[in-house]
Structure 1
Amino acid sequence: MKRILVCFFFLVTVQLAHAQFYKTDTMSHKGWDPSRLVVGGSLGMVFGDYTNVDVSPLVGYRFSQYIAAGININAQYGQFRSRDYFGNTLQRDKYTIFGGGVWGRVYPLPMLFVHVQPEYNFISQSSTLYDNSGNKQIYKTDYAVPSLLLGAGYSQSVGGRVGLGFSILYDVLQDDRSPYRNSLIYRVGAGLGF
């Protein structure tokens, strides 16, 4: 049950930027329109043998009823602890991720969108191995890795410029060191401006 809850909270990190239908007259203004500004991002926290803290803001602009785009920043800290049958720590892995990129969305229908997000992340990892005699070995590595997240989603307005949404993304580049591994990325959230 604990693993199911950890997975649930990990998958339901809040992404505060999902679509909302705009009336045609709102999109008919030319030039800069502050009401088209999109502000959001993701915020997630999981604690325990697997710990993950994710703070990833984004900002963008809704160019029309059909197109929105902007920039995002990724900042994550994570830790995983492996234990033996008696509860002793065998290995502890820690990582930090910092990076960012751009994102874009196309809305073929007011509630459905296609999402594209190329990004570049700098990752710092350390693994500590423990043996029965109390000795430990530490291995550290730093690297940078590109990702290209593609996917789709659904959003629903809940009033004014606020919307709730759900999206499924996948890293199509699948670099061996990608923080997204070979798995789907689920995002559920609420947002302002989409």
Structure 2
Amino acid sequence: MKRLLICFFLLAGVQLAHAQYYKTDTVTRKGFDPSRLVLGGSLGMVFGDVTNVDISPLVGYRFSDYIAAGVNINAQYGQYKVWSYDQIVQRDKYTIFGGGIWGRVYPLPMVFIHVQPEYNFVTQNSTVYLNNNEKQTYKTNYGVPSLLVGAGYTQNVGGRVGIGISILYDVIQDDRSPYNNSLIYRVGAGIGF
């Protein structure tokens, strides 16, 4: 965690030194400006005893140099296995579909404060393997609200394309939240950051 914070502050310092040359467009357009669209999201994959595939696109609009907002979609599939010695005793599979809105405030051109209320629909199948080669499967469906709050850093890598990292936390902490009372680390790429 210390290394992540040191890297964050180092990148922020480099960007602040470079920010002296940051120029805003002096031509202001009235109405919708396609160059202010924000397209991005994140893609994550983990495989093994714990499997998770996460596809979370987002789209938004940069209303000014300081404010951006938009909508996001969440789609996740996951499973994990519980082992006892050399055999599986339980396997849980889940799918999460949902979305919400997000907003960002940029106090500096590359640093943002992020707020994201969302609602996710979760389907979970738990299969318990019994001693006599039998199994029992339990299925649950539910919806759960979340309010992700945090901060992040974006770095332009050329033109309007950038990469971003953010650290978020679900402040509602519903017992069934997919975020499990832990910090959420996201790395993504996008256009119009």
| Same fold by TM-score greater than 0.5 | yes
TM-score, with structure 1 as normaliser: 0.85
Which residue matches 2:170? 171
AA in 1 matched with 2:33 = D
Residue 94 of structure 1 deviates from its aligned partner by: 0.5
AA in 2 matched with 1:173 = I
- Distance in 1 (CA, whole Å) between partners of 2:23 and 2:103 is 20
Change (3 A) 1:26 1:49: farther
Change (3 A) 1:125 1:156: same
Which residue matches 1:93? 92
- 8 Å CA contact 1:27–1:65 kept in 2: the answer is no
Give CA deviations for 1:91-130 in whole Å, capped at 9, x if unaligned: 0001000000000000001111000000000000010000
- Distance in 2 (CA, whole Å) between partners of 1:92 and 1:59 is 35
- 8 Å CA contact 1:97–1:122 kept in 2: the answer is yes
Divergent runs of 4+, >2 A: 21-24
Identical-pair percentage: 76
Q: Which structure has the higher relative contact order (CA within 8 Å, separation 6+)?
A: 1
- Correspondences of 1:20-59 after superposition (within 5 Å): 23-25=23-25, 28-59=28-59
- Distance in 1 (CA, whole Å) between partners of 2:131 and 2:60 is 52
- Distance in 1 (CA, whole Å) between partners of 2:26 and 2:44 is 33
- Correspondences of 1:16-165 after superposition (within 5 Å): 23-25=23-25, 28-85=28-85, 87-165=86-164
Say which one has the larger Rg.
2
RMSD: 1.4
Gaps of 5+ in 1: 1-20
AA in 2 matched with 1:53 = V
Gaps of 5+ in 2: 1-18
